[in-house]
Amino acid sequence: MSASIRNLDDLLAEGVSGRRVLVRADLNVPLDKQTGEITDDGRIRAVLPTLGALVQAGAKVVVCSHLGRPKGAPDPQYSLRPVAGRLGELIDAPVHFATDTVGESARATVDALTDGQVALLENLRFNKGETSKDDTERGAFADQLAAFGEAYVDDAFGAVHRKHASVHDVPARLPHVAGRLVLREVEVLSRLTGEPERPYVVVLGGSKVSDKLAVIEALLPKVDRLLIGGGMCFTFLKAQGHEVGTSLLEEEMVETCGNLLSRAEGKILLPVDVVAADAFAPDAAHDTVPADGIPSHRLGLDIGPETVAGFTAALSQAKTVFWNGPMGVFEMPAFANGTRGVAEAITKTDAFTVVGGGDSAAAVRALGLDESSFGHISTGGGASLEYLEGKTLPGIAALEN
Ligand code: 3PG
Ligand code: MG
């Protein structure tokens, strides 16, 4: 990380006992649609090193985060209350929950904190100012948030690519440092943008090429191999002249994918077989078919075993691996083998391996894979991709000033 950025140790060295420290975390965890329960608490656990250090040092810790994409007003389905409960279990101490973000409840909750206690404010995005494009509106909200801290810690790596009040404008108002998670994420990802050990193999999946276009462009000159699976592989297969049945297809991206393939000098590896199903359903009839033989009435929902074998061979040579995006609809067991196979291949290399993205990280845990067999599992999806694209990230830039 840039030498001009101070980190948590610098703040701790100044002494934080009795001081209010505002921590921006990314506690945007997936919730079960029916029960509202947290289905993966990885992002909560990821911020524990920072929170634990501040608690130990006797700070009054005020945590804030977004969850989901509410539209600037309170919306109970996006409340952080369940997160406060889970955080309390993990730190083994009560987490004082404020039912608003900068209102009466928040003020009372923050005022009542004693040394070493933790408060969590309600969802930042219940306030229009958080995500506003208007600097004045964002600034006014940032003023209210900043009033809760004497220092600011950014540990929300998953949100550093957002120019939001809590990420971009609060650090302009308070002494600011990077938390342990942000520091580690940036250290790891900078190994990939610097001089990665070769072969450097990147695996990309997920549904849309349009989302990944910028990162593919940025990575192509850097990587030795780019393996493409997931929903977005069908637009590439189409660009190769294959029929893809009713598979996910971005018609307007076919030409772009064709250009990428011709510029890639053979670095891009596409599926040679896919699991094609009658419908997007867990119990749909399905078969493995060659990638150039998808029946017109079927859609591809996973990469096939021959593809997994080819990807595994490429990965086994690698010295550096970055993986973002599932290879198929891994939430349905019939279409999880591609993602599982690639994930297992990654764990078996002796490469430095990085998993980027909320979905891929959740896939690793949902498939019961051992997290410790990966070099690093990033908490950021969009953030890690934009970092690899070489973009300026508003949250990191704000810490530099
Ligand atoms: C994420 O889940 O990618 C981060 O929490 C950022 O959320 P956002 O994409 O809604 O800004
Ligand atoms: Mg996202």
Cβ contact 47:25 at 8 Å: yes
Ligand 1, atom nearest to 26 Cα: 5
- Measured by CA distance, the residue closest to atom 4 of ligand 1 is 158
* Options 19, 20, 24, 43, the catalytic residue: 43
**CA 184, CA 272: separation in Å to the nearest integer?**
37
| Cβ-count burial 317-355 (b if 16+ within 10 Å, e if not) | ebebbbbbbbbbbbebebbbbbbbbbbebbeebebbbbb
How much distance in Å is there from the Cα of 381 to the middle of ligand 2?
6
Question: What was the pLDDT predicted at 361?
Answer: 85
Is position 162 annotated as part of the catalytic site? Answer: no
Residue whose CB lies within 8 A of the most ligand 1 atoms, among 24, 26, 71, for a mutation test: 26
Strand order in the sheet with 95-97: 95-97, 118-120, 60-64, 20-25, 151-155, 176-178
Question: What was the pLDDT predicted at 362?
Answer: 80
Structure tokens, 240: 């190769």
DSSP assignment string, 173-215? TS-EEE-HHHHHHHHHHHHHHS---SSEEEEE-SS-HHHHHHH
Report CA-CA distances (Å) from 197 to 2, 194, 278, 376: 21, 10, 43, 16
| Residue with the two structure tokens 């040394």 | 115
Is position 238 annotated as part of the catalytic site? Answer: no
Q: Where are the alpha helices (DSSP H) in 220-348?
A: 233-239, 254-263, 305-317, 337-348
Question: What was the pLDDT predicted at 211?
Answer: 87
Cβ contact 151:174 at 8 Å: yes
Is position 293 annotated as part of the catalytic site? Answer: no
Is position 382 annotated as part of the catalytic site? Answer: yes
158 lines ligand 1 (CB under 6 A): yes
Cβ contact 131:115 at 8 Å: no
- Measured by CA distance, the residue closest to atom 3 of ligand 1 is 381
Report CA-CA distances (Å) from 137 to 70, 82, 117, 143, 260: 17, 29, 31, 10, 41
Closest by alpha carbon to 120, among 67, 192, 41?
67
3-state helix, strand and coil shares in percent for the chain, rounded to the nearest 5: 45, 15, 40
* Options 358, 380, 381, 395, the catalytic residue: 358
**What is the identity of the amino acid at 252?**
E
Q: Quote the DSSP letter at residue 392.
A: P
Ligand 1, atom nearest to 68 Cα: 10
Residue whose CB lies within 8 A of the most ligand 1 atoms, among 75, 125, 130, 162, for a mutation test: 162
Identify the three-state secondary structure at position 234: helix
Closest by alpha carbon to 233, among 206, 202, 266?
206
**CA 146, CA 169: separation in Å to the nearest integer?**
9
- Measured by CA distance, the residue closest to atom 6 of ligand 1 is 159
Structure tokens, 96: 């004082």
Going from the first residue of the chain to its last (401 residues), give the mean pLDDT of each consecutive group of 10, the final group possibly shorter: 86 98 97 91 96 98 98 97 98 97 98 98 98 98 98 98 98 98 96 94 93 92 97 97 97 96 95 98 98 97 98 98 95 96 96 89 87 93 92 95 77
Phi, psi of 67 (to 5 degrees): -145, 125
Compute how many other C-beta atoms are within 10 angstroms of the C-beta atom of residue 143. 15
**CA 290, CA 310: separation in Å to the nearest integer?**
14
- To the nearest 10 degrees (0 to 180), the angle between helices 180-193 and 382-389 is 40
pTM score: 0.91
**CA 277, CA 246: separation in Å to the nearest integer?**
10
Report CA-CA distances (Å) from 281 to 4, 65, 143: 51, 34, 48
Question: What was the pLDDT predicted at 1?
Answer: 66
Question: What was the pLDDT predicted at 299?
Answer: 98
| Residue with the two structure tokens 């050990």 | 197
